[in-house]
Structure formats: structure tokens, C-alpha cells
Amino acid sequence: MDPQVHFLPTDALNKDRLARQPSAQTLPSIEQNPPESIAHVPGDPAVGLGHNDVGAHLSKHLRTPVLDELYEKLWLVARKSGESIDPLHTQKVKGRAIMPTEDPNLHLVWDRDKIYIKPVPLFLLNYDFWLTYLQEPEQHPSSRVPQEPSQIQLPISDRSIATGFLRSYALLIPNRLDFALAQESHLIPPGINWLEWSKFTTHFRRKLDNEVAKRYHYGQLRLSRLHWAVRIFRPRNTSTSWFYANPYWSITELVERATVPLLFIFASISLVLSSMQVILSVPVDDLWYKDSAKLILREASRAFWVFSIGVVLFGGIVWVFILGIPLIILLGQLAWAIRHRDKGPNIQAPSV
């Protein structure tokens, strides 16, 4: 096994052999034009093996520029532990639907009743691909063979991202039940059995944070908190300054979502203002006047006045809870994040 590849050739889940490229002639591990070799990225026949094509393909499938830009602030919104990933069966127990997505920025991001997971690209399961394109700089063919100035030299971060990505899958699918759920959700390529998967992911399960990309120093991320991180810190790589990932695909959906809270605000404010108007319009002296001729009027005025005061007080209490509880939770989460910012992965986050 080459020291730059994390698994043995016999443990690779994809056995395709890659055709040699001009920039990889010095690699002794790949034979010259092996039989039945392919001239494209495994699993993607439209993508050739040139460094420009592979570099763009890796960026499309692995890079998370927004999270990389937010890395120094992510401790405010998430637990800093690459092992903070629930297996797939635990996701189901928590009532979350598994949503496959090809967007690497959404991998392991959860929102209410669903979690987004990127399926495993086939090329990450291929030994020759790792050997050729995912090596340390001194081992990479680009460092030993002169290239044209226009050629892309694949950065080491692609290798660390690939390592972190597969480590996340080793934690997502540690058991047979998780493997079956992954197959149902089309997260892993077909034709792989449990024993092969278990042997392959063993090589990634115990990888440390210094071997993976910074994004994978964190595990699952809550989408609602990422929205606030984007709104506050305004990273340059986002398509919108209001959402991490746009949750609305039409104006109608946005309006429907906003209707209920807007109606509640309007109704509560209107009720409180009407009650205040009643309180101010009733003379206080007449409430306790003992003239028997005005008994019914006095009692009615007193009832309306007391009821209006009760409505105002109740409305104030409700708004104190509405505004105060989230503020207390926010301050508690912030205090927890500050206390445990530089601590190890065994710290348990508060379950709020």
C-alpha cells in the first residue's frame, strides 16, 4: 500500500484502472496502459483524466467555500467535533428524513425533520484515483513533472477534504442497519456488500482532525444557525446574504411561511391597543361611585376596565416569554460555546 493512500488496493470498492496521463509518467504504481483501463473519472464518463478536468471535478464535488470562510466562527453555532455525527438509524429515530443532495455545502446539514447527505462519489472508492490525484505535494505528479503554466496543480486540501468526507461516512454507516438505510437512500454505489464497506471504512474511522479538512473538524450543522452565521458574518462566497442555502423556491412559499407570525403580531398588538383605549376611556372615579341608580353601568364599566387591564398584562407577559426565552437560550448557547471553544471532542453540547 502506498503511504499516501489510506486503504489497500484490495480494499478499494471500485476496481477500475485509470489510463496513464502524460503528467503521471513517473508514477511506478500504475502500469503503462493496463488492460481494460478507463480514460475518465470513475463514475463520470464525461470527465477526462486531465488535471484541469479533475481539479474542477473535485472542487464541484468536495469543496465547501462558505464553511471554510466561516470556520473561525463556526464554534459559535456548532460543536467543534468531527465525531459529532449521528448514524443513519439515529437520524431516523430523531424523526429526520434522509435527503440525498449533490451539493457538498449541504453535506451533514440538518433542518427540523430532515438531514442532507451527499452520496459517496465513486472516484473516492478507487485506489488509482487516490494514488494519482489525491497525494501529498511532494508525492503528487505535478511536483515532479514540469507542467504548462495554465495547468491546475491539485492542492493538498482536496486530499484532506476527501479523507474527512469518507470519515464522515464511516461514522454515518457503522452498522448493518445503517448500511441498509444508505442503500435505500442511494447514498452508496450499488454492488457493494456490508463486509466490503466495513473493511474499507475501517481505514477512515480513526482519522484525526489534523488529517482532514477544517470543515470536517465539525460534524452535523444546524441549518437555522448557519443562516444566522451568514447574516451576521457575511461571507463572500454565499449567493445570498440572508440564507446559507435558500429554503424557499417561490415567493408564495415565503409569504405562506410569514403569514402566521405576521397575523399573530398584528392581532396581539391590536388587542392590546384596544384594551388600553378602553382603560383610558373609562373614568376611574365612576368605577367606585356608589349611586344605586348607576349600579348596572358602574358594574359593567368596572368589568370592562378590569378585563382590559388583564388583557394588557397577559399580552405583556406573552411578549416577555416570546422575546425572553429565545434570548436566554441564545445567551446560554453562547456561554457554552465560549467555555468549550478549545476543548476536546468528548464535550456534550446542551440539548436545547
Q: What's the mean pLDDT in 159-171?
A: 93
Can you give the pLDDT at residue 218?
Answer: 92
Residue 311 binned pLDDT confidence (cut-offs 50, 70, 90): confident
Which of 16-20, 72-76, 96-100, 141-145 comes out lowest in average pLDDT?
141-145
CA distance 234 to 223: 16
pLDDT at position 272 is 85
Placement of cell 384594551 in the chain: 275
The band of 329, judged by pLDDT with boundaries at 50, 70 and 90, is confident
Helix axis angle for 156-172 and 51-62, nearest 10°, is 40
Lowest-confidence segment of 31-35, 95-99, 316-320, 339-343 by average pLDDT: 31-35
Q: Is the pLDDT of residue 175 over 90?
A: yes
Sequence-ordered list of residues with C-beta below 8 angstroms from that of 147, at least 6 positions apart, any chain: 23, 51, 153
Judge contact between 191 and 78, C-beta under 8 A: no
Percent of the chain with pLDDT over 70: 79
Q: What is the pLDDT of residue 152?
A: 42
CA distances from 195 to 125, 201, 252 (A): 15, 10, 48
Confirm if 23 and 51 have CB atoms less than 8 A apart: yes
Please report where in the chains the cell 477500475 appears, as a residue.
16
The string of pLDDT tens digits covering residues 67-96 is: 999 998 888 888 888 888 999 999 999 999
DSSP 265-299: HHHHHHHHHHHHHHHHHS-HHHHT---GGGHHHHH
With beta carbons less than 8 A apart as the criterion, state whether 162 and 124 touch: yes
pLDDT digits (tens, 9 = 90+) for 24-49: 444 444 445 566 788 889 999 999 88
* Cell numbers standing for residue 108: 451533514
Q: Kindly report the number of other CB atoms within 10 A of residue 263's CB atom.
A: 10
Confidence (pLDDT) at 319: 84
Q: For the chain, count helices (H), then strands (E).
A: 11, 6
Q: For residue 171, count other CB atoms closer than 10 A to its CB.
A: 20
What is the spatial distance between Cα 148 and Cα 146, in angstroms, rounded to a whole number? Answer: 7
Length of the chain: 352
Structural contact between residues 78 and 221, judged by C-beta atoms closer than 8 angstroms:
yes
